[in-house]
Amino acid sequence: MEAEPKDYNAIHSSKASLACMINSEIGAVLAVMRRNVRWGGRYMSDDDQLEHSLIQSLKVLRKQIFSWPQHWQTINPALYLQPFLDVIQSDETGAPITGVALSSVYKILTLDVIDQNTANVKDAMHLIVDAVTSCRFEVTDSASEEVVLTKILQVLLACMKSKASVTLSNQHVCTIVNTCFRVVHQSESKGELLQRIARHTMHELVRCIFSYLPDVDDSESASTNGINSSDEQSAGLKNGYAFASRQSENGTLNSEYDDQSLSTNPASNASIGPVAAGVDEDSFGAGIGSDTVSYDSRLMTEPFGIPCMVEIFHFLCSLLNIVERVGLGFKSNTIAFDEDVPLFALGLINSVVELIGPSIRHHPRLLSTIREELFQDMMKFGLSVSPLILSMVCSIVLNLYHHLRSELKLQLEAFFSCVILRLAQSRYGASYQQQEVAMEALVDFCRQKTFVIEMYANFDCDISCSNVFEDIANLLSKSAFPVNSPLSSMHLLALDGLIAVIQGMAERIGNESVGSEQTLMNLDEYSPFWTVKCKNYSDPNHWAPFVRWRKYIKKRLMVGADHFNHEPKKGLEFLQGAHLLPDKLDPQSVACFLRYTAGLDKNLVGDFLGNHDEFWVQVLHEFAWTFDFQGMNLDTALRLFLETFRLPGEAQKIQRVLEAFSERYYEQSPQILVNKDAALLLSYSIILLNTDQHNVQVKKKMTEEDFIRNNRRINGGNDLPREYLAELYHSIVKNEIRTIPKQGAGFPEMTPSRWIDLIHQSKKTAPFIVSDSGAYLDCDMFAIMSGPTIAAISVVFDHAEDEEVYQTCIDGFLAVAKIAACHHLIDVLDDLVVSLCKFTTLLNPPSFEDSLLLFGDDTKAGMATVTVFTIANNYGDYIRTGWRNILDCILRLHKLGVLPARVASDATDESELSAETEDHRPLTNSVSTASLPSMGSSKKSFGLMGRFSQLLSFDTEEPKSQPSEEELAAHQRSLETIQKCHIDSIFADSKFLQAESLSQLARALILAAERAQKGNTSPEDEDTAVFCLELLIAITLNNRDRIVLLWQGVYEHISNIVQSSVMPCTLVEKAVFGLLRICQRLLPYKENLADELLRSLQLVLKLDARVADVYCEQITQEVSRLVKANASHVRSQIGWRTIISLLSFTARHPEAAEAGFDTLMFIMSDGAHLLPSNYVVCVDASRQFAESRVGEAERSIQALDLMAGSVDCFSRWDSEAKKTMGEEEAVRMCQDIGEMWLRLVQALRKVCLDQREEVRNHAVLLLQKCLRGVDGINLPHDLWLQSFDVVIFTMVDDLLEIVQGQSQKNYRNVEGTLILALKLLSKVFLQLLPDLSQLTTFSKLWLGVLDRMEKYMEVKVRGRKSEKLQELVPELLKNTLLVMKTRGVLVQSSASGGDSMWELTWLHVKNIAPSLQSEVFPDQDLSHNKPGEGGGVVSDTVGSNPSTETLSSEGAAGGS
């Protein structure tokens, strides 16, 4: 209850304040009026003095406003507005009074006194609009007039911004716009301020009106139903305009624009009232023209919405046609006139599009205006000489593309082909300013994320459209090329466009895409491809493969067209083979080929279409039926028809062609012509008129009357309408029909006939494909533009001098690399690398002394270098031949001394630190620049700071000057640049490269090294070869899992180095130790390659003797490490043979022998690593160490012990074989053991001849030990016989030969060795006697033993017989005979003849000791034996002694 007074007080206060405000406005108007004498006096009416009605009404209002009891919203606004509106409409008031009244109305509107809830608000708003738009006032001076016009604009804008504006009708809104435009036009002759205010108000007004569009329901269906066709006819204008020039009532021409301009003669009254009335009636309706439908009066009186917006937008578009209608061409006007109205109209249109762009598609009338009228006008104004107009046109098209591209497919294609691409090329006569604006617009389009992919999908992949994307890419590439000129803004602008396209593709990488990889396509059979539609134009899974398929067809058609132009028959056959035409040609398919294939020779097409052959007549008929002439004038249709081919010259062919055309035209447009014959006759007549008017040889031209007369009674015996023929006549006179159309694709000019056809085609064309951010077609697009793009960016980079341009180019290079790698375009990436490497200045450097300084100072070279290596690190998987160029740069940097030392070493050394223990660290680092110093000739240092360490050092032979500060600074900059390159990562991360790329990298290293080898004339060349080898070994060790890819090339390269080196040098050192390191590192991981790796070490054996001698010790140490680390991984015979061969080589090398023998001991000691596969070579190596005179004799004795100790392995191997192998394999192993044993004793036999006594004697004793056989293994008898022949007898004979020869003096105490040898002979013979006696060849063996004993009895040591031998031989013989007697081996034979063993034995014994027979056989008379007697029986008297003697003999023999 307490709130009511407060509310009442508030309401009362509000009422009072509003009343006071209106009261003050009344006072202001009255005050101004009283200044004028006219308003100060009184008027006489009858006999009473009365005040003027305007003053009286204001005073009456002042009395009433404080007495109105109601709320202001319930008061009719007309009550307090009408006095002010009367003042505004009065033609008696001057400009100051009218201005104050307008201000009052403006104040009332802006204070929201009136809103949509106010009583009678609709009528009030209409009163305001009617009054202000018909404002009348007396002009006294131009300044006051401008004030009034400004206030009119303010009030009208306030009306539209008022909350009550929704109550305005369509007609009133149109009137407001019309009035504002007339003020704009009127202001051209006024001050600058009014012009700016008027134009700004117009913009605001249009934006205010169209801001309602998104919220307005689409009432177009209702609107269309209410169209009043009679209004259109009453307008009486075919292509007219509401403000067309006409005489005003007083007979003066107001304007070339309208008849509604404000009159500003000081002596007259200014008035916009009469003209406003005209607007109220039908000004906008008439302005639509015959091709646009007007709204009826009922719709125009309804609250404003779609109808007025359509009318206003159409009005804005129609402003673009003013110049054409007043008969002034673009180029004949001054720029000022040419720009003013079109530029203003384009600005308004752009504002509308910016504001309501997304909503336009929901309103067919607006969309149709844009499609058919606005775009055609923009095509014209786009070719204007005014850069401002072109810029505004491009801005509108960009907005339309952004909002409505799906509705403007063919319009956009036409704009790019006929405007942007034409103007951006100087060859079409465009000025530099036009080219620049066009290029700027094109770059703006290219910056749109999906622009290029949509251009490609919708146009380049459409058979009936031009290749817009390809044309844009080519234009940008060519425009970026600075041909014989410095870089200009145009070049950089084109570069920006290229970079925008490329970076857009790069950004799409990683987004989910469909079909990004190129796939091979082929058509299996013919189908009418021009009719095929995509199943779903909004789903990339459908449209991406579909457009790629269409592009394939388009390409094949282009090839077919080329063949057709050269030889039509072969062209058709090619298309049949490609399944683009059926195997059996039919008229429809051939007609479609001729109609839709671009690039065909139009002369050929015309000849074939005019052919009298029945098939080609049918083709002509089908060809004509591909055209849509519906709604076209005859001349337009004929122009369109004749643009597709050249009309043949023969009359019969012309007749056939025109007959087909006439039949098709009459079928679709029968409105005026009664039959096809009429169409044919009129077409002929048009062709004749065209020739008459445009042939310079025709002097007397046909007049309009002549043309009409010539076409009498052709329409079924009747005349055609005179207006119709006159229109045809003037159309042909103004615009020639080209009967010889231009050849080639080019960028065509948009003619009216082509535009009409475009509108027809746009209704049937496939939907516009709207793409998202997926890289659906980027691979195909990039393949088209990559080559020209790389070339263009490279040329700009080459010519540029600004770091910002450098960076732009670098960004482009990196984007190209990313795209090429993503789509596996290897050639593109290689080309890019080659191009970039040229800019590093490293491939063709100046003199060595200057190159480092220049490189450090060259920003461009530094950026290019960083980019090259960034690409190599990030996208190395897809580099192939480019590795050669990259490597050339690395080698140059190495020569300059700016490469980090870790480039070749980090790749392997760091992994070794974790993989190898300190005990196994190599003495020689095969891939590090800090490896063993070369023992060959000295060379320059090219490591980190190597170049400057030379400059800073003092050479006694050739003193060097100190480097300057400039050189030091350049060197520091170079180091900083190289640090950014991360060159070491290329090789350290080579394990992640794809196989093919890795192979190419290795191949590049090998080629570079070979080049350096061939030109090895300086230390630098050798250093280059060494560095390449180090890198090659580094990547080999880093790729142990893929060694198969690299091994062959690496091995061959190292082999070439080893076999071509005749003197020690760093290169061969690196090769040998690198090879050893590879084997050492890879053996544990690559068992399947173990043999091949170890076989490669045979290269070391092929070293030149001088080279081998220098590096022998280090080689042995590496081999030792290899064996100790990998002995368990070496299993094959060839592998061991190689290793042992390397060890054997060291036996006679003073420095290497110790390490070599140590390794051999590691293998053979305790049989730890002795295997059947390496036994023979190990024994042979031990023999070589035993025979070696290098070092002390102790090593030889140890070698002999190794040999003898290896016998123990035989039993183990035999036992293992019996347990793990089959019977056959076990038998085979036993045989192998026998052969190995024989090789062992043969080796020992050779050492028995050593000149050193201790070695020789030790060898004999060990041989005796080994000849006892192998425990647990029964060696075959023939093997024992063989051991006597090749071992025992040979040793005994060789010793005898030494004693008897001239070399006896080299052998100290050889007598002792002879004694040991005889004892060995006797002992082994007696040991094996039981087995040997069973052999058929035993007799021969026994006689051999006797023969050696007999010879030893006769031997002379130092000139006289040896007493020891004289004593030893009979004793050994006696013991042997007793054993043989006891075992029944030696018995008297009953056989006759003199060659029995018995007889031969005693013959030899007599030569040695004649008394032995009687001692051994005392009871037997050898001389009187009879045949068959005494067959081996030994008497009892001596039978007990031999065993004792034998034992004692054996003991004596063994103990001696």
Instruction: Kindly list the catalytic residues.
Output: 650
Question: How far apart (Å, rounded) are the C-alpha atoms in residues 1025 and 1015?
Answer: 10
Strands (E), 274-330: none
Strands (E), 202-318: 269-271
DSSP H stretches of helix in 1221-1362? 1223-1247, 1253-1266, 1277-1283, 1289-1300, 1310-1332, 1338-1354
Tell me the three state secondary structure of residue 1331. Answer: helix
Instruction: Give whole-number Cα distances, 333 to 321, 327, 381, 1333, in Å.
Output: 14, 10, 13, 137
Straight-line distance from the first to the last Cα atom of the chain, in angstroms, rounded to the nearest whole number:
149
Question: How far apart (Å, rounded) are the C-alpha atoms in residues 485 and 426?
Answer: 15
- Structural contact between residues 1035 and 986, judged by C-beta atoms closer than 8 angstroms: no
Quick one: tokens of 1406?
A: 């007599």
Burial of 960 (0-12, 13-18, 19+ CB in 10 A): exposed
- Structural contact between residues 580 and 529, judged by C-beta atoms closer than 8 angstroms: yes
Instruction: Give whole-number Cα distances, 78 to 82, 125, 1225, in Å.
Output: 5, 9, 127
Question: How far apart (Å, rounded) are the C-alpha atoms in residues 1075 and 80?
Answer: 109
- Cα of 945 vs its chain's centroid, Å: 37
Beta strand 136-138 with 48-50 is unpaired
Question: How far apart (Å, rounded) are the C-alpha atoms in residues 199 and 202?
Answer: 5
Question: How far apart (Å, rounded) are the C-alpha atoms in residues 36 and 440?
Answer: 59
- Structural contact between residues 265 and 252, judged by C-beta atoms closer than 8 angstroms: no
Quick one: tokens of 7?
A: 């509310």
Across-strand partners of 137?
270
- Structural contact between residues 64 and 108, judged by C-beta atoms closer than 8 angstroms: no
- Structural contact between residues 1129 and 1112, judged by C-beta atoms closer than 8 angstroms: no
Given the structure tokens 């050893």, which residue do they identify?
1076
Written as one string, the DSSP assignment of 122-152 is: HHHHHHHHHHHHT-EEE---HHHHHHHHHHH
DSSP state of 993: S
Across-strand partners of 1270?
1273
The torsion angles phi and psi of 115, rounded to 5 degrees, stand at -140, -175
Question: How far apart (Å, rounded) are the C-alpha atoms in residues 616 and 645?
Answer: 15
Question: How far apart (Å, rounded) are the C-alpha atoms in residues 1345 and 84?
Answer: 160
- Cα of 1436 vs its chain's centroid, Å: 109
Angle at CA 848, nearest 5°, toward 845 and 850?
85
Strands (E), 119-234: 136-138
Of 1284, 1296, 1407, the closest CA to residue 1346 belongs to 1407
Beta strand 269-271 with 48-50 is unpaired
Question: How far apart (Å, rounded) are the C-alpha atoms in residues 463 and 452?
Answer: 18
Instruction: Give whole-number Cα distances, 1360 to 568, 664, 1356, in Å.
Output: 116, 139, 5
Quick one: tokens of 58?
A: 């204001």
Question: How far apart (Å, rounded) are the C-alpha atoms in residues 645 and 898?
Answer: 67
The torsion angles phi and psi of 1401, rounded to 5 degrees, stand at -60, -50
- Cα of 1422 vs its chain's centroid, Å: 108
